Amino acid sequence: MTVSRALFDQVMVPNYSPSAVIPVKGEGSRVWDQQDNEYVDFAGGIAVNCLGHCHPALVSALKEQGEKLWHLSNVWANEPSLRLAEKLTKATFAEKVYFANSGAEANEAALKLARRWALDKFGAEKSQIISFNKGFHGRTFFTVTVGGQAAYSDGFGPKPGDIAHADYNDLASFEALISDNTCAVMLEPLQGEGGVVSPTKEFIQGVRELCDKHNALLIFDEVQTGVGRTGDLYAYQGLGVTPDILSTAKALGGGFPIGAMLTTTEIAKHLKVGTHGSTYGGNPLACAVAEAAFDTVNTTEVLEGVTAKEALFRELLAEINAEFNVFAEVRGKGLLLGLALNDEYKGRAKEFMTAGVEHGVMALVAGADVVRFTPSLVIPEADIREGMARFAKAVAQVVNG
């Protein structure tokens, strides 16, 4: 069988529009396509491939577990899931873990738990959920409605109710919405899809204080920021604010699908037996790979290395911008970086991404005005420099037409 981009149009639902390039092999931060063209990967599968492609620790864990036990369902516990859960609780504020398959599922569980907690403790009136404009929390109907981008939730019929949206980094906007009827507030501790926007200290602390005042749970969506992406194991640890519930996925499995919801014992008890579940959640194969990824990332060497790599990216981006003057600012933290285009180039982020592919570097966008980098947390300096040299050529191509 000949596999080509044309086959996608023939057999796949048209909700994606992938590149004409079809990658077939990856190693570290390099990827090769069907024609054996090489690319430096600054996309990382959208902040998923935290250890690059085919990292030996992950390959070894996959092979070893693959010869032991693949799947049981949650009628039985399994060793990899219990080991991973224990490590997650020891490394974070959490005391209890719920495993799912994706970030959307982890967020769905968080929202359902918050609603059930509020119902049990305060009654049916306490059901409001507040989130933030331009936020992104997944593609289930509940999570996409909570997400602050109506374009993703419109057109599917009546939406889940009692959900309100404030403006990110605008504490007054948030304070005007929250009340004693608010059961939970969901936010990203660094907005990803919404343009790579960091929270101000006053905003994030103010949200926490208002949640406490109104007995509302604070949910941090760390699907994109978690597992070392910002230089902390989880972004909340660098903000001085602790959530009540945290969702994690993407990098948790280093490329193998897995998600998790983390919370306290007191809150977790409201998901009694039978109230929520997942056939594949806690799958031993996924958890074995995730344990290997977690063990590799959760080290001083890797986490401190993220900060050093961020500095190198910023240095090289400043050099590119000094020559071409296309970026208004470089946003983000660690290896979640957003290159915000200036007024002259606004709306053209995808052109920079497309030109990058032509010059052998894979990048992302975060909306129409921001180019996004989410590379491997262990990307070598040589690959950063080579990828940035290629990206400079892509920038030149867009600028010079």
Residues carrying an active site annotation: 136, 221, 250
For tokens 């970086």, what's the residue?
337
230 annotated ligand-binding residue: no
Per the annotation, does 220 bind a ligand?
Answer: no
- 103 labeled binding residue: yes
> Strand, helix or coil at 150?
helix
Please tell me whether 136 is known to bind a ligand: yes
Residue type, 208: R
Q: 3-state DSSP call for residue 335?
A: coil
CB of 189 closer than 8 Å to CB of 218? no
Is 19 annotated as belonging to a binding site?
Answer: no
Three-state SS string across 296-315, please? HHCCHHHHHHHHHHHHHHHH
- Write b or e for each residue in 213-251: b if 16 or more Cβ atoms lie within 10 A of its Cβ, otherwise e: ebebbbbbbbbbbbbbbbbbbbbbbbbebebbbbbbbbb
**Angle, CA of 294, 299 and 303, to the nearest 5°:** 95
104 is in an annotated binding site: yes
Q: Is 351 annotated as a binding residue?
A: no
Task: Consult the annotation and say whether 356 binds a ligand.
Answer: no
Whole-angstrom CA distances from 399 to 155, 290, 358, 388, 394 are 37, 42, 15, 16, 9
State the CB neighbour count (10 A cutoff) for residue 153.
19
Residue 139 annotated as lining a ligand binding site: yes
The helix/strand/coil state of 258 is coil
Question: What Rg do the C-alpha atoms of the chain give, in angstroms?
Answer: 21
Stated as kind and residue range, the H or E segment containing 218 is strand 217-221
CA-nearest of 243, 220, 235, 363 to 303 is 235
3-state secondary structure 348-369: CHHHHHHHHHHCCEECEECCCC
**Pairing mode of beta strands 182-187, 245-248:** unpaired
Largest pairwise CA distance in the chain = 62
Annotated binding-site ranges for N(2)-acetyl-L-ornithine: 139, 278
Numbered residues of the known binding site:
103-104, 136, 139, 221-224, 278-279
Q: Which residues are annotated as a binding site for pyridoxal 5'-phosphate?
A: 103-104, 136, 221-224, 279
